[in-house]
Each structure stands twice: as structure tokens, then as C-alpha cells.
């Protein structure tokens, strides 16, 4: 007789990384190979012994939970402009019946119960269910067909920041805890003009703005050169909203302290979106 389904699962650990929101993580970890995270395993379970021998592997599989998802969808929209909806089992969508995720990451180091990994698509506080070594002879099939993906032309854009935008991004990261550079790479490396799936507004010929919580990144798109250039970052609050005591995002003090050249009274954007 087959055994019944597992009734309970306990995480063996959790992820710690700067990426807290779904739109901050790439759809596949290999798209941002240098992004690091720490997997902290639970104490008191002799996981130190369970890790013995893993340090010799360059890559590992991480089995985890899409902990921010509350429901699943039988058909989903692939993250590619113009593609029709596909069955969820034919995609890597996080909206799955059992919220189980699988990611192959680079293993950088093991220190006690802490594993530092890179090239991930995980979020902070992600529960981890299991770890397994990546074994090329068994896990890699270079000639395998990729179904409908074989017909999709995926074009990646390079992301650049002007000196002013670089300064803006550094200020916001230091004072507001949001990484605008990572966000731009995640959201704009593909389909940087897709306003149907992203919070993008066209502001002129080849110029656009994308919302990152209560901030707005202004950028240009060079379609021929496959280059996105972020030219500035501004507040998503107009002057009236910024003067209001209501602060449901808890970040108006940061916006008020933003350098004066980003005067909110001159902003065209009417206000923040949730």
C-alpha cells in the first residue's frame, strides 16, 4: 500500500537576503548571478552532520516554499510580452497548487549552519524544505527540448544608470532600504516597455517611468542597442500627498528628506500606488 500524503512539513531553515518583495527577485536566479543570500538552518536537529560533504559541490538545489502566495492558478501569464497564457505545469510560475519552489543556486560557503549562496530567485524569510547537491551528469540535459519556450525569442537589455541616478539610488538604499539598482535589473532586463504587466508609464518617445513602491525610476530605452538607461529617480508623492499626515507606507520622512533637486511640487506623477 502506498503511504499517505505528508500531513505536516517543518522548514529546515529560512532565507535571509535584501529582497523582500516579489518584484525584487528575478524570475530565474541565473539572470542575476551575483545576487547573494544566506540560508540559515535550524539549530538542534544535527543539521551540521547533514551538511557533511556538501561543501565540495559548486551548486545545490534548494527546495522551498512560495510563502507569499495564497492561491494558485491553473493558467498563468508567462513573463514575456505578447505570450498567451499557459498551463501552470508548463511554466516556472510561483502560483502552484502546493507552493513548492525549486532553484539551483551557486554554493559559495558553509559556516556552521549558514550557507551563503548566489544567483538566487529567493525572498527574505523564505522557508526552506530541503537541500540537495546539483550533479551535472544526472541533472543537466543540454539537448532537451524546452516546449513552447523554444519558440520564444528572449531579448535581454543591459541596464545602465547615469551618474545622477547612481547617486539617487545609493541615497535611497541608505535611507529607505530599497535597492533601485536591483529592481531595475529585475524588471527592465526584459520587456522594458510592457505596461500591461508592469507599472510602466510612457513619458515621451523612448522614455518611460516605472513605479518601485512609492518611488519612480525614469529611464530611456534604446531598442536597437538593447540598452535601458535609468536617468533619475523621483518621489511618487506629489506635494499635497507629501504634506498629508497619512503615511500608510511609513516612508514619507524619507521622501521629505530626499535632496532638494527632487522637489515633489514639480513632479508630474499624481501619487503613490500600493
Supply the pLDDT for residue 153.
Answer: 62
Q: Which residue do the cell numbers 520587456 mark?
A: 191
Supply the pLDDT for residue 260.
Answer: 58
Q: Which residue do the cell numbers 546539483 mark?
A: 134
N-terminal to C-terminal alpha carbon distance within the chain: 50
Task: Give the Cα separation of 188 and 193 in Å (integer).
Answer: 8
**DSSP secondary structure letter of residue 238:** -
| E strand or H helix that includes residue 76 | strand 75-76
Task: Give the Cα separation of 82 and 152 in Å (integer).
Answer: 10
Supply the pLDDT for residue 196.
Answer: 84
Residue 186, number of CB atoms within 10 A of its CB: 22
User: What global pTM score does this model have?
Assistant: 0.76
Supply the pLDDT for residue 262.
Answer: 54
For residue 235, give the 3-state DSSP assignment.
strand
* C-alpha cell belonging to residue 4: 499517505
Supply the pLDDT for residue 269.
Answer: 42
Supply the pLDDT for residue 261.
Answer: 52
Supply the pLDDT for residue 8.
Answer: 79
| E strand or H helix that includes residue 241 | helix 239-243
Question: What stretches in the chain show pLDDT beneath 70?
Answer: 1-7, 81, 151-154, 260-274
- In the chain, the domains with their CATH numbers are 13-148 (2.40.30.70), 158-266 (3.30.2310.20)
Contact 47, 41 (CB under 8 A): yes
Amino acid at each position: 500500500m502506498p503511504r499517505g500524503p505528508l500531513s505536516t512539513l517543518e522548514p529546515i531553515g529560512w532565507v535571509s537576503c535584501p529582497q523582500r518583495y516579489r518584484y525584487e527577485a528575478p524570475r530565474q536566479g541565473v539572470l542575476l548571478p551575483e545576487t547573494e543570500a544566506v540560508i540559515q538552518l535550524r539549530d538542534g536537529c544535527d543539521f551540521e552532520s547533514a551538511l557533511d560533504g556538501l561543501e565540495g559541490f559548486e551548486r545545490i538545489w534548494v527546495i522551498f516554499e512560495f510563502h507569499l502566495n495564497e492561491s494558485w492558478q491553473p493558467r498563468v501569464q508567462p513573463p514575456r510580452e505578447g505570450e498567451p497564457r499557459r498551463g501552470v505545469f508548463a511554466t516556472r510560475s510561483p502560483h502552484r497548487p502546493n507552493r513548492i519552489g525549486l532553484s539551483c543556486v551557486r554554493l559559495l560557503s558553509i559556516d556552521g549552519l549558514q550557507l551563503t549562496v548566489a544567483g538566487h530567485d529567493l525572498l527574505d524569510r523564505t522557508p526552506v524544505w530541503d537541500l540537495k547537491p546539483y550533479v551535472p551528469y544526472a541533472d543537466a540535459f543540454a539537448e532537451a527540448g524546452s516546449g513552447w519556450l523554444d519558440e520564444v525569442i528572449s531579448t535581454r537589455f543591459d541596464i545602465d544608470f547615469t551618474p545622477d541616478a547612481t547617486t539617487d539610488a545609493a541615497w535611497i538604499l541608505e535611507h529607505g532600504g530599497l535597492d533601485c539598482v536591483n529592481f531595475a535589473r529585475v524588471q527592465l532586463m526584459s520587456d522594458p516597455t510592457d505596461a500591461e504587466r508592469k507599472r510602466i508609464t510612457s513619458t515621451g518617445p523612448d522614455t518611460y517611468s516605472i513605479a518601485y513602491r512609492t518611488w519612480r525610476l525614469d529611464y530611456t530605452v534604446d531598442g536597437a542597442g538593447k540598452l535601458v538607461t535609468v536617468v533619475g529617480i523621483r518621489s511618487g508623492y506629489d506635494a499635497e500627498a507629501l504634506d498629508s499626515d497619512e503615511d500608510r507606507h511609513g516612508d514619507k520622512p524619507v521622501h521629505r528628506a530626499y535632496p532638494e533637486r527632487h522637489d515633489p511640487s514639480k513632479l508630474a506623477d499624481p501619487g503613490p500606488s500600493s
